[in-house]
Structure 1
Amino acid sequence: MRQFFKKIILISLFSFYFFQIEKVKSIVPYYYLPTKKNLQKQGLDIGKNAHHLLYFGRYEDSLNLAKLAVKINAKDEKLWLILAEAQIANEQYKNALSSLNKAEQINSKISEVYFAKSNIYLRISQQAKAKIALEKGLKIEPNNHRAIFQLGNILLMEKNYLRAIKLFEKSVKIKPDFWQAINNQGLAYFEKNNVNLSIKLFESAISIQENAEPLLGLASCVRINNTKLAIHLAKKALAKDPKYVNYDYRKEQLWGEKLQASTEILLQNEQLKQDVILAKSKIIESS
């Protein structure tokens, strides 16, 4: 009750004051000024929405939202990372590198910044810079199996097969079912003329996931000693992914010259003629 009477007195004392305020409000509109904390939350919420849109393939919408997020809160490195991801999806690589540099300036201890940079550098064929970025990221997160695998891929491109193999092995130790790293060991060993070990590695990759790449790799390995099996494996590989009929596509997947030569001989087999024609026609249809 005492509080009630206090309120009555206050209202009486300030009634004239509030009357004047209302007059001012009729001339000057009232604006809500969000706090710094609210702005940060709004920026992060918008950034999350931008990130979600990427997974639905709405790249342009994602980019616009991500730009808005960093305008609201330019001091959050996570938002710059989201913007960079949206820029990569929209093939704006130079802008993405700029966004990643800003994220790095805010926090240089985030491995994702360097891994994202390496991804961009690989897309624009700057392998040396990609390698440096990966190495920086791995100093922060040394057990990232995908980053180790990617560094191994760069060494595979450089034909540094022994170092590439060691990195693929390290990646598999961290994630034993990482069939891609097992497969790429097979690619490397074939170029080192260790066909028997390549066979074992391709078989191991297939046991985890029956993917077209190890299937065709294994087919190319056994084509001399077991033509029937090689034909069977090649048919299955081309049915799963027709793109592997293409020499340039296999090169993009880091197939070396020796394995490429063996595969080209295999695909010229008369028993694969219709499969090769069908695979090429599917590629044309999908382009």
Structure 2
Amino acid sequence: MKKFLKNIICISLITFNFFKVEKVQSIVPYYYFPTIKSLQKESLSIGKSAYQLLYFGQYKDSLNLAKLAVKINAADEKLWLILSEAQIANKLYKNALQSLNKAEKINSNISEIYFAKSNVFLQIAQQKNAKIALETGLKIEPNNHKAIFQLGNILLMEKNYLGAIKLFDKSIEIKPDFWQAVNNQGLAYFEKNNINLSKTLFEKAISIEENAEPLLGLASCLRIKNINLALELAKKALAKNPNYVSYEYRKEQLWGEKLQKSTEILLQNKKLQEDVLLAKSKINISS
């Protein structure tokens, strides 16, 4: 009897423990711990989504996603670059520089980091730093026509017209249909009083793309010798982009003092007043 009771107690304890274990197992939740690879993959996916939102002009949403991507994976310089672009779009220039500095620490051999830095420095009126950043980026990627063009623009701001023209030439050699560089050569030559060459360059730019800027530039070149054609071109330019009626806007596009003066005289012509007023009204409505 004693032995029998002992057996019963043993069986009861085993059964109890068995069910106890089963019970514990039934209430312990299952956790999935993602691997580093899966986290990296997820952060890149979020980064791509942030970049797409940036492209579609959803700047705040892009910024939030880019921040999340960097939080998940702070060791990827591409994500810091995307975050910096989102910060630039949201005019958070100091934050953008911090992000670009972090990207540079991870990988200092990426030209885009320095090109992006130059863009930020220009936004905060630090031309010298913008120039240094561009030159650093061009050491890594010497044939980037856009970066060469931007460096030329800085020289244009510094009124180093010959230096700017040489860089625009180099940019055009790499990309012959780069009308912006051709146009800016026209801007530079006008300030050097070479109106005929300026005229030829504006015409060449228009042959590549009929943009408002070379149209108005050409109109200013023709103001004295062919006023009727100048008026026609000016009307066309203002219809295409009313912003060019503004002195300040043209200044932002790096128009020099001599071309500005010629254009102001042209825009005061009585036959252009209706077009000038219409352009100004369109600017006021949009702002």
Q: TM-score, normalised by structure 2?
A: 0.92
Change (3 A) 1:218 1:36: same
Alignment pair present for 1:55 and 2:60: no
Change (3 A) 1:22 1:191: farther
Matched residue, 2:273: 273
1:26 offset after TM fit, Å? 3.6
In the other structure, the counterpart of 1:146 is 146
After superposition, what is the alpha-carbon deviation per residue over 1:17-74, rounded to whole angstroms, capped at 9, x for unaligned? 9988754444542211111111110111111111111112111111111111111111
Corresponding residue for residue 192 of structure 1: 192
CA–CA separation in structure 2 for the residues paired with 1:86 and 1:22:
52
- Provide the residue aligned with 1:246 in structure 2: 246
Partner Cα distance (2:216, 2:47) in 1: 42
Unaligned runs of 5+ in 1: 1-16
Taking the TM superposition and a 5 Å limit, the aligned residue runs for 1:11-160 are 22-160=22-160
Task: Give the Cα separation in 2 of the matches to 1:121 and 1:253.
Answer: 17
Structure-1 separation of matches of 2:89 and 2:249: 21
Q: Match of 1:183, as an amino acid?
A: N
Amino acid at match of 1:158: E
Letter in 2 for 1:206: I
TM-score by length of 1: 0.92
Q: Partners in 2 of 1:161 and 1:193 — Cα distance?
A: 11
Letter in 2 for 1:250: R
Distance in 2 separating the partners of 1:238 and 1:155: 28
What are the superposed Cα offsets for residues 71-116 of structure 1, whole Å, 9 maximum, x if unpaired? 1111110011111111111111111111110100000000010011
Structure 1, residues 232-260: CA drift from partner, whole Å, max 9, x if none? Answer: 11111111111111111100000000000
Any idea what the Cα deviations from partners look like across 1:139-170, whole Å, max 9, x if unmatched? 00100000000010011000000000000010
In structure 2, the gaps of 5 or more residues are 1-16
Counterpart CA distance in 2 for 1:67 and 1:18 is 49
Q: Secondary structure at the match of 1:210?
A: coil
For 1:24 and 1:199, the matched residues in 2 are separated by 87
Give CA deviations for 1:164-222 in whole Å, capped at 9, x if unaligned: 00000100110000000000000000001111100000000000111110000000011
Larger Rg: 2
What's the C-alpha RMSD, in Å, of the aligned pairs?
1.6
Counterpart position of 2:4: none
Residue 285 of structure 1 aligns with which residue?
Answer: 285
SS in 2 for 1:131: helix
- Equivalent residue for 2:14? none
Alignment size in residue pairs? 272
Aligned equivalents of 1:154, 1:19: Cα separation in 2? 79
**In the alignment, is residue 165 of structure 1 matched against residue 153 of structure 2?**
no
Give the partner amino acid of 2:200. Answer: K
